[in-house]
Amino acid sequence: MGLSWPLTGRREEVRTIEAAILASDVSGIVICGAAGVGKSRIARDALSAAVSRGCEGRWAVGTSVAKTMPLGALTAWAHSGVTDTAQLVRGVIESLTAAPAGTTVVVGVDDVHLLDDLSIFVVQQIVQRGAAKVILTVRDGDPIPAAVQEIWQGGQCDRLDLQPLSIDESSTLLSATLGGSVDPDAAQRLWTLTRPAALSAGADHHVHQRRPGASRHACKMTAALEAAGHEVLYYENTEGGHSGAANNAQLAFETAVTHEFLLQTLFQ
Ligand SMILES: Nc1ncnc2c1ncn2[C@@H]1O[C@H](COP(=O)(O)OP(=O)(O)OP(=O)(O)O)[C@@H](O)[C@H]1O
Ligand SMILES: [Mg+2]
């Protein structure tokens, strides 16, 4: 069964992306935001909109598996039988940006921070040469290799920091998806349930300025979310590494905390 979620809200953001594609003085846009905030969705929709306006569209996705292979995310555009790296890269750039004269190509790359080095080089080259417009997405909180940051540093790309949908937009989406009006209480509860929360495990990440002994990624994520104006629930577990399971007692405690949180949130 196909489930269609209409793109909800994001009118301003869609306009910002469109403006970056049309602008003659930038190479495109990088869309940043927290996990699940809607980066891939808006990037794909913006690419489809560009195609419907007459652009040529290409879509590639960075993944942790593709990252282990040279040009992993871009294999669809690599010519088979070519062994020389420079020639291979040139071929990928040419195929990605090929279009009839006068047609703009828009290359969308989802999760660009997960690209391998050669793929990063390809995107850098496309941006530097202005060979196509780019729409890139990056997940906040994930490590971003310096080479990836160089793609948009120097003012060649606009930047859009995507925020979560508001409670009203979230209710509208819920109603549209379910095909009817939704009880405001239920909508509020769902919105609250999906608000950002951080659960930390981590004596192994022992260096951090915020609280000694706390997880570096969780603290960074918490600080970033707070800076963005969100209320963050933070539980700091200082034993047991990533799983918080130094021993059975620790594991039982961690599990109990998680279940208690869910029970309180769901049945309050
Ligand atoms: N504005 C929106 N209207 C309707 N559905 C949306 C909207 N934004 C996101 N979605 C839906 O929410 C889900 C998560 O969005 P998406 O995959 O784009 O998030 P993401 O930021 O790319 O997540 P990740 O950080 O995991 O890559 C998808 O099913 C997507 O279609
Ligand atoms: Mg995504």
Q: What is the best residue among 14, 37, 41, 139 to mutate for testing ligand 1's pocket, by most ligand atoms within 8 Å of CB?
A: 41
Half-sphere exposure of 158 (CA within 13 A, CB side): 20
Whether 13 contacts 162, CB under 8 Å = yes
pTM of the model: 0.74
Residue-averaged pLDDT of the chain: 83
Measured in Å, residue 42 CA sits from the centre of ligand 1 at 8
Mind giving me the DSSP string for 194-249? TS-EEEEE-TT----SSSTTS-HHHHHHHHHHHHTT---EEEEE-SSGGGT-SSHH
Please give the backbone phi and psi of residue 60, each rounded to the nearest 5 degrees, phi first.
-130, 155
Q: What is the best residue among 40, 174, 177 to mutate for testing ligand 1's pocket, by most ligand atoms within 8 Å of CB?
A: 40
Q: State whether CATH 3.90.1150.10 applies to domain 11-161.
A: no
Split at pLDDT 50, 70, 90, the class of 267 is low
pLDDT at 175: 83
CA angle 102/106/112 to nearest 5° reads 155
Measuring from atom 8 of ligand 1, which residue has the nearest CA? 38
Measuring from atom 31 of ligand 1, which residue has the nearest CA? 41
Atom of ligand 1 nearest to the CA of 6: 4
pLDDT at 239: 58
Reported as a single tens digit per residue, the pLDDT across 176-212 is 877 888 888 888 877 777 664 444 443 333 333 334 3
pLDDT at 138: 96
Distance CA 48, CA 109 (A): 13
Is the pLDDT at 83 greater than 80, yes or no? yes
Half-sphere exposure of 152 (CA within 13 A, CB side): 22
Q: Is the CB of 5 under 6 A from ligand 1?
A: yes
Split at pLDDT 50, 70, 90, the class of 241 is low
> Hey, what are 140's tokens?
């906040």
Q: What is the best residue among 3, 4, 5 to mutate for testing ligand 1's pocket, by most ligand atoms within 8 Å of CB?
A: 5
Domains of the chain by residue range: 11-161, 196-267
Three-state secondary-structure class, residue 144:
coil
Atom of ligand 1 nearest to the CA of 34: 25
pLDDT at 268: 57
Q: What percent of the chain has pLDDT over 70?
A: 81
pLDDT at 98: 96
